[in-house]
Structure 1
């Protein structure tokens, strides 16, 4: 709101930390005539933004669930670490649950770890203390996965389970490349989407036609066989 009043902006590109608190402020920005691009974490009310750029969150959940289901041969006990309570977190969980529906995979517990390494560590410590058998962990995000890895390592339980994260963080991709049995795969959630969103917003103003609607990026499964093409050692992420 300060940007609109002080700088007379023509466009706003915003990646909400949480969907709910930003929905009304962004609506007011839009009502002032500003072109609005929302990135990644959608607002809680549809139709406010002009352009939405995101990874395919439902697909990320679905791909993760399909891998875990196949790897466990349709049965086993798993735990889930969710992200921040947002629209995209709900989409990921919905895709995951649809993928394991009809199997005998049992979700022992599902708690928010806020896409945060420290929270992932604490939630996983709690799971390890409460559950004697865990066959797999869906960490949903690579920051969470790093915390989960440390908790599992400290509990000396690396041999009993595997972890599926998501995003494409270079540290996790390197583990996949190296054949780490604890982290056998990852699911891509394109980290450069904010740059894509900025490029598309500029195109709206300089191209011959409007750039509107949704631009959704895919979430392929990253395995040891294809990990090299997703590994960028000089990346900050």
Structure 2
């Protein structure tokens, strides 16, 4: 097939497959492609998957982390009368009115990667992505198991670096971790929680403040490995050794830090699987297939002990 790709005002990529009566026009508005390599890889994988499907014409948009821009993009896709809209929400609450408009226009909405708030579920056809609460819970289990191996499960103190406030993935991973830790290691204390905004440099600054405030830190849980490696860098610079670092969404930098013996564990999640699952969910809906509302793909635990079973992430 012939693939046409056009960059419009640096915000939209239009992919046109072979024209035909059955062509599905699918628009996607992403959260913030430039913020980390996971989202960059996701976009590339989505474009590749759309380009390989001759039944799909895709309009690929990026909100750049701006809620107002994302709302405007959804409204523009409604005006274009696309057949389906995929949204990676910048904010799970704020986008609900725009998602409602798409629903009222008869356009099925698929939420990808990070769900919107529950108040908007009636306006969404399906969610495609990871189970972030389970990811947080699995991270707690990884950390607890390591503390037990070290014999410090009765006294360990943990600090927690979360993602962007208001972002559903950050909220759910935090909830999963903080709910599960008391169940598996009831004597472990989570002494402080601060946002790192998915940013390595900010997370390093957050960890620097933690290190000044707390003489005893046994573990650090971060909502993704990008933030976790920022925290690790702060600990290294301060000469603080023996801290167990656990994240979620295993980035290449996290994998490398695990290989070096500096970073203990994470959750393995593929942005390629994520993107391909979102597109398939949208096309399945348009083809009339029945899907579960929560359409999860698996995200297993990865630690220094089993990392040889997994390939290094490309993001």
TM-score by length of 2: 0.68
**Residues 23-38 of structure 1: matches in 2 within 5 Å?**
23-38=96-111
* Residues in 1 aligned to 2:308 and 2:147: alpha-carbon distance in whole angstroms: 26
Contact 1:201/1:211 (8 A) holds in 2: no
**Partner residue, 1:162:** 244
Q: Provide the rounded CA distance (Å) in 2 between the counterparts of 1:232 and 1:77.
A: 30
Query: What does residue 10 of structure 1 align with?
Result: 83
What is residue 110 of structure 1 aligned with on the other side? 193
The answer on whether the counterparts of 1:18 and 1:41 sit within 8 Å (CA) in structure 2 is no
Q: Which residue of 133, 153, 158 corresponds with 1:78? A: 158
Q: CA RMSD in A?
A: 1.8
Q: Structure 1 length as normaliser, TM-score? A: 0.89
2:236 partner SS: helix
Largest Rg, 1 or 2: 2
Aligned position for 1:22: 95
Higher relative contact order (CA 8 A, sep 6+): 1
Q: 1:58 — aligned with what?
A: 133
Contact kept in structure 2, 1:53 and 1:214, CA below 8 Å: yes
* 1:204 equivalent in alignment to 2:285: yes
Aligned equivalent of 1:181: 261
Which runs of 5 or more structure 1 residues have no equivalent in the other structure?
Answer: none
- Mapped pair 1:191 → 2:271: yes
Q: Report the alpha carbon displacement of residue 67 of structure 1 after superposing the two structures with TM.
A: 1.7
Task: Give the total of aligned pairs.
Answer: 230
Deviation string, structure 1 residues 90-126 (Cα, Å, up to 9, x no partner) = 2222221232215111111011111111221111111
1:212 positional shift: 5.1
Match of 1:122 among 205, 230, 236: 205
